[in-house]
Amino acid sequence: MIGILGSGSWATAVAKILLEQPGTQLCWYVREPEIRQSLADHGRNYRYLGEVPFDPSRLIICEEAQEVVEQCDTIYLLVPTAYLHNVMQSVNASMLRERTIVSGVKGFIPETNEIVTDYLQHLYQVPAQQLAVISGPTHAEEVARERLTFITCASDNPDLAERVRQQIRCRYINANTSSDVRGIQFATALKNVYAVAAGLVVGLGYGDNLLAVMVCHAIVEIHHFLATIQPSNQLTIYTPQQLIPYGGDLLVTCYSQFSRNRRLGTMIGRGYSVKSAQLEMDMVAEGYYASYSLEKIRKILNIEMPIAQSVYSVLYQNARPDLLLRAWQIYKN
């Protein structure tokens, strides 16, 4: 049986994808009692992607994460990073080491500033051969509407990557495999920071021309970061398939109307305080937490990332949003 931890929009979208395979049954940890009731009674997550129907007979809804770990041999982690550490502390670590874990989490663990697979290996001793990740570009709203989407399944274990690919392939999901587990996770976390930057550009009243320039600089910073943090695994792009989980995910997050990170930046650029923007959104913008972790990692690595640094200053040091534009002076020549 396949388990899911998480009940937000992306978790709901992944549940929909997995249930496209005939005979699949899901064991689903849902923290909110109102959502549990909605799924059990009406087959819908009333709060996130309420238009997606589920067959309640194919769902086992759990109020504790440990229940899912006990009943499933494959577990999809789809909890926002802000809450993942608390959820993982509630499960049996030794039992977790016996499971296959697929992470769809898009960011760093705030408590440790780690990507998810590093966190699971260091804190829970889950073997790398039992870990996989799935990456976008994958806005949940488009998955809900069954618009064609490309997903990359990455693992150090080629057989596991292929097994995950088979689990999520369907008429509107095209899935590929990769071995760059760490690089994809870092790129996925960083793109959320740059989506906040994209929102700041929009909120400040600049147009698509400047936004395109910002995205180009973001690509340079991401490549510099990846080359520094894993120098033995230099990212070389030969085909669109290889580029999708890096550049494709960045582009959709910076440009899409569904991007909550861009929305956060847009609101701040228009004059909202960081806190008031977060409260009005009522959804987790991973870029906020990723920015804090990235600043810690960047300092350890001693690398310059002007756009990412300026986003951190806006989010955590009460800097003016137009600081972002001044940061680009380092690229002037």
b/e 247-276 (16+ beta carbons within 10 angstroms → b):
bbbbbbbbbbeebbbbbbbbbbbeebeeee
3-state secondary structure of 225: helix
Longest Cα–Cα distance of the chain, Å, equals 62
How far is Cα 146 from Cα 142, in angstroms, rounded to an integer?
A: 6
User: CA distances (Å), 52 to each of 16, 23, 29, 41, 241, in order?
Assistant: 8, 19, 18, 14, 29
Helices and strands, number each (H, E), in the chain: 17, 8
**DSSP, res 231:** T
How far is Cα 35 from Cα 207, in angstroms, rounded to an integer?
A: 39
Q: Respond yes or no: is residue 191 known to be catalytic.
A: yes
Whether the Cβ atoms of residue 81 and residue 109 lie closer than 8 Å to each other: yes
The amino acid occupying position 289 is: Y
Q: Going along 10-73, which residue ranges are E strands?
A: 26-29, 59-62
How far is Cα 67 from Cα 5, in angstroms, rounded to an integer?
A: 10
* Integer-rounded Cα radius of gyration of the chain: 19
Which residue reads 């940061």 in tokens? 327
Q: Quick one: which H or E segment has residue 16?
A: helix 9-18
| Catalytic annotation, pick one of 106, 191, 296, 299 | 191
How far is Cα 7 from Cα 295, in angstroms, rounded to an integer?
A: 29
Positions marked active-site: 191
